[in-house]
C-alpha cells in the first residue's frame, strides 16, 4: 500500500461541481491499494502518517505530527500511484488492487482513520474527482508499506 502525503493549508475534492470533502490545515492523502495488500498494510500506513513529524514546532523545526497540530486529513483514492511506466509511454496499472478489493481497503483505511483522528474528509472512490490544494512548504512525501505481493 502506498500514499503521497501533502502538507496543506487547505484542500478540497469536487465531484460533478460539488465539494464533497474539504479540510483546512492538515494532510492531503493520495492513497493506493496494490495487489496483495491487506488490512495490516493499511494499519501500518495509517499509523505512520498519523505520527509523521512534518509540521513545524515553535522553533520552526518539522517536529510535530498531524495529530499534534489537530490538522485535518483529506483521503483520496489514487490507483494511478501504482503506475508502471517501464514498458513504454502508456502506464500499466496491473499492480493496483482490483476495483472491489481497492474499494474495500480504501473504506477500511478511512474507517480506521476516523476511529483514530478527529477530522477526516474523503473523496469518492472511483469518481472523476477534481482535487484542489495549497501545498504548505511545499512538503510532499511518498509513503509505502510492503504488501504480500
**pLDDT tens digit sequence for 21-32:** 999 999 999 999
Q: How far is CA 78 from CA 8, 24, 55, 124, 126, in A?
A: 18, 21, 24, 10, 9
Q: State the average pLDDT for the chain.
A: 96
Instruction: Specify whether the CB–CB gap between 78 and 31 falls below 8 A.
Output: yes
Report the candidate in 65, 62, 59, 94 with the shortest Cα–Cα distance to residue 80: 94
pLDDT per position as a tens digit, 109-125: 999 999 999 999 999 99
Clarify whether 122 is annotated catalytic. no
Q: What is the pTM of this model?
A: 0.95
- Indicate which residue of 78, 109, 112, 122 is catalytic: 78
Q: C-alpha cell of 144?
A: 509505502
Q: Is 112 a catalytic residue?
A: no
Give percent of the chain with pLDDT exceeding 70: 98
Dist CA 30 CA 22 (whole Å): 14
| Of 2, 6, 14, 79, catalytic | 79
Architecture of domain 2-144: 3-Layer(bba) Sandwich (3.50)
Q: Is 109 a catalytic residue?
A: no
Amino acid at each position: 500500500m502506498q500514499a503521497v502525503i501533502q502538507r496543506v493549508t487547505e484542500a478540497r475534492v469536487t465531484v460533478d461541481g460539488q465539494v464533497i470533502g474539504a479540510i483546512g490545515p492538515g494532510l492531503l492523502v493520495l492513497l493506493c491499494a496494490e495487489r496483495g495488500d491487506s488490512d495490516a498494510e493499511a494499519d501500518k500506513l495509517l499509523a505512520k502518517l498519523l505520527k509523521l513529524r512534518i509540521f513545524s514546532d515553535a522553533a520552526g523545526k518539522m517536529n510535530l505530527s498531524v495529530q499534534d497540530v489537530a490538522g485535518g486529513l483529506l483521503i483520496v483514492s489514487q490507483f494511478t500511484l501504482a503506475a508502471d511506466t517501464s514498458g513504454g509511454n502508456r502506464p500499466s496499472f496491473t499492480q493496483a488492487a482490483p476495483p472491489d478489493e481497492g474499494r474495500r481497503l480504501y473504506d477500511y483505511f478511512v474507517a480506521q482513520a476516523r476511529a483514530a483522528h478527529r477530522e477526516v474528509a474523503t473523496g469518492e472512490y472511483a469518481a472523476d474527482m477534481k482535487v484542489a490544494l495549497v501545498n504548505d512548504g511545499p512538503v510532499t512525501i511518498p509513503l509505502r508499506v510492503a504488501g504480500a505481493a
